[in-house]
Amino acid sequence: MPNIKWTYEKLLEEARRYETKQEFRAKSGSAYAAAKYRKVIDDVCAHMTPPRTSWTDEMVAAEAKKYATKTDFKNGSSGAYQAALKRGLMSRICSHMSKLRDKWTDENVREAASKFKTKTEFRENNQGAYKAAHKRGILDEVCSHMTKLKTDWTCMTSAPMGQI
């Protein structure tokens, strides 16, 4: 993409394509940065919807209803999630959400580990079970069926440069 000389008019035109500053920054970072640098960001973004700065309890509750799990709620609406945490609303507004797991037992850690072929795969795909196994000191036991990954560095060091 060629370098664009961001005139005030071009910045205004570019900013009009977006509804929020967050969207502007995400989709047109160079224009956003130029507008900030030139101190015209508020002018070119005057048409945009301002970010929500305060959540009412009712708004937080309505937002929480859109999600099936607390993780989805946190990832999908972090502002509402944080407001709920700070105000102690989680138990009330998240009662409809399914629990992924109450507590890791040795048995359900073993069951989770049995689905993977390597420790790396286990760690990357089920961090909760992996951490529970590590914390309980049963990681090697529950991973005993897994294949150990080996990296053969000799092939890389014995080849002449440029042939790797």
Domain ranges of the chain: 8-44, 57-93, 106-142
pLDDT of residue 54: 86
**In angstroms, rounded to a whole number, what is the distance separating the alpha carbons of residues 44 and 4?**
17
pLDDT of residue 124: 87
Task: Find the mean pLDDT for residues 85-109.
Answer: 87
Half-sphere exposure (Cβ direction) of 152: Cα atoms closer than 13 Å:
3
- Residue predicted with more confidence, 35 or 72: 35
**In angstroms, rounded to a whole number, what is the distance separating the alpha carbons of residues 35 and 23?**
14
pLDDT of residue 97: 87
- Residue predicted with more confidence, 28 or 100: 28
pLDDT tens-place string over residues 114-155: 999 999 998 988 888 899 999 999 999 999 999 886 654 444
